[in-house]
Amino acid sequence: MSKAKTESKNTKKETTGNVKIYIMGSAYEVPATLTIMKAMEYAGYKFTRGSGCRAGFCGACSTVYRKEGDFRIYTALACQTMVEDGMVLTQLPFVPADKPTYDINNLTPSANTILRFYPEVARCLSCNACSKVCPQDIQVMDYIQFSLQGQIDKAAEESFDCVSCGLCAIRCPAEIPQYHVAELARRLYGKYLMIAPSYLDERIKEIIDGKYEDGFKELMALSKEKLEERYKNRDKE
Amino acid sequence: MVNYSYFPGCNLKTNAKGFEKSAIAVSKKLEAELVEIPNWNCCGTVHTMTADNLMKRIAPVRVLARSRKHVEELENSSQDIVTLCSMCNSTLKIVNSEVLVDPEKLEVINFQLEDDEETYSSDMEVKHFLEILRDNIGFAKIANKVVKPLKGFKVTPYYGCMLLHPEEAKIDDEEMPSVLENLIESLGAEVVFSPLFKYCCGSYHIVSDEDIVTRQVQKIIDSAMIRGANALAVACPLCAYNLDQQQKMLMEKTGKKEAIPIFYFSQLMALAMGEPVEINHFEDHKIDPRILLKELKFK
Ligand code: SF4
Ligand code: SF4
Ligand code: FES
In a domain, A3, yes or no: no
Instruction: Tell me whether residue A99 is in a domain.
Output: no
DSSP alpha helix (H) spans, chain B: 10-14, 17-29, 45-48, 58-73, 86-101, 103-113, 129-131, 139-144, 179-186, 205-208, 210-226, 237-254, 265-272, 289-295
HEC string of A111-129? HHHHHHHCHHHHHCCCCCH
User: Cβ-count burial of A85 within 10 angstroms (0-12 exposed, 13-18 middle, 19+ buried)?
Assistant: middle
Residue A224 forms part of a structural domain: yes
Residue A30 lies in a domain: yes
What number of CA atoms fall less than 13 Å from residue B25's CA on the CB side?
Answer: 23
Local structure of residue A33 (DSSP, 8 states): T
Q: How far apart are CA B288 and CA A2, in angstroms?
A: 52
Distance separating alpha carbons of residues B47 and B113, to the nearest angstrom: 17
Residue A57 within any structural domain of the chain: yes
B13/A142 CB distance under 8 A = no
Question: What is the spatial distance between Cα A182 and Cα A159, in angstroms, rounded to a whole number?
Answer: 6
Give the domain range for residue A62.
15-91
Q: Is there a single domain that holds both residue A188 and residue A204?
A: no
CATH of the domain at A81: 3.10.20.30
Following DSSP, what letter does each residue of A40-75 receive, concatenated? HHHTT---SSS-S-SSSSS---EEEEEETT----EE
Q: What is the pLDDT along chain B (299 residues), one digit of tens a residue?
A: 999 999 999 889 888 999 999 999 999 999 999 999 999 988 877 655 555 578 778 999 999 999 999 999 999 999 999 999 999 999 999 999 999 999 988 998 898 899 889 999 999 999 999 999 999 999 999 999 999 999 999 999 999 999 999 999 999 999 999 999 999 999 999 999 999 999 999 888 888 888 999 999 999 999 999 999 999 999 999 999 999 999 999 999 988 889 999 999 999 999 999 999 999 999 999 999 999 999 999 98
Flag whether A138 is in a domain: yes
Residues A215 and A156 in one domain: no
Tell which CATH classification among 3.40.50.10470, 3.40.50.11810, 4.10.490.10, 3.40.50.1390 matches the domain B147-295. 3.40.50.11810
pLDDT at A32 over 70: yes
For residues A178 and A110, membership in a common domain is answered with yes
Residues A207, A189 share a domain: no
Q: Are B292 and B261 in contact (CB under 8 A)?
A: yes
Inter-residue contact B99 to B109 (CB < 8 Å):
yes
The verdict on A147 and A126 lying in the same domain is yes
Stated pTM of the model: 0.78
CB contact under 8 A, B59 and A132: no
Residue A80 Cα: closest atom of ligand 3: 4
Residues A57 and A36 in one domain: yes
Number of domains in chain A: 3
* A134 φ/ψ sector (left φ>0, alpha ψ -120 to 50, else beta): beta
Does one domain contain both A108 and A181?
yes
Is A188 found in the same domain as A114? yes
pLDDT score, position A117: 97
Domain boundary among A65, A91, A117: A91
Burial A212-233 (b: 16+ CB within 10 A, else e): eeeeeeeeeeeeeeeeeeeeee
What H or E segment, with its residue span, contains residue A91?
strand A87-91
Give Cα separations from A49 to A26, A136, B73, B271 (angstroms). Answer: 20, 21, 47, 63
Three-state secondary structure call for residue B236 = coil
Residues in chain A whose Cβ is within 8 Å of chain B? 110-112, 122, 124-128, 131-132, 139, 141-142, 145-146, 148-151, 173
**Domain ranges for chain B:** 2-130, 147-295
Q: How far is the CA of B148 from the centre of ligand 2 (A)?
A: 47
pLDDT at B55: 79
> From the CA of B181, how far away is ligand 2's center (Å)?
42
Q: What angle do CA A101, A102, A105 make, to 5 degrees?
A: 155
Measured from the CB, is residue A170 less than 6 Å from ligand 1?
Answer: no
Shared domain check, A127 and A189: yes
Identify all chain B residues contacting A127, using CB atoms and an 8 Å cutoff.
55, 58, 112
Cα gap B271→B289, rounded to integer Å: 11
- Residues 6 or more apart from B115 whose CB is under 8 A from it? A132
A29 occurs within a structural domain? yes
What is the CATH number for A167?
A: 1.10.1060.10
In the structure, what pLDDT confidence band is assigned to residue A6 with cuts at 50, 70 and 90?
Answer: very low
Residue A167 beta carbon below 6 angstroms from any ligand 2 atom: no
* ipTM above threshold 0.85: no
In angstroms, rounded to a whole number, what is the distance separating the alpha carbons of residues A91 and A60? Answer: 10
Question: CB of A176 within 8 A of CB of A124?
Answer: yes
- Kindly state the helix (H) or strand (E) to which residue A180 belongs, with its residue range: helix A178-188
Give residue B52's pLDDT: 56
Candidate CATH numbers 1.20.1050.140, 3.90.1150.10, 2.30.110.20, 3.40.50.300; the one for domain B2-130: 1.20.1050.140
Task: Answer with the one of A32, A56, A91 that is the final residue of a domain.
Answer: A91
In one-letter notation, the amino acid at residue B94 is I
- On average, the pLDDT of chain A sits at 91
Residue A6 in any domain: the answer is no
Minimum-distance CB partner of B41 among A111, A126, A150: A126
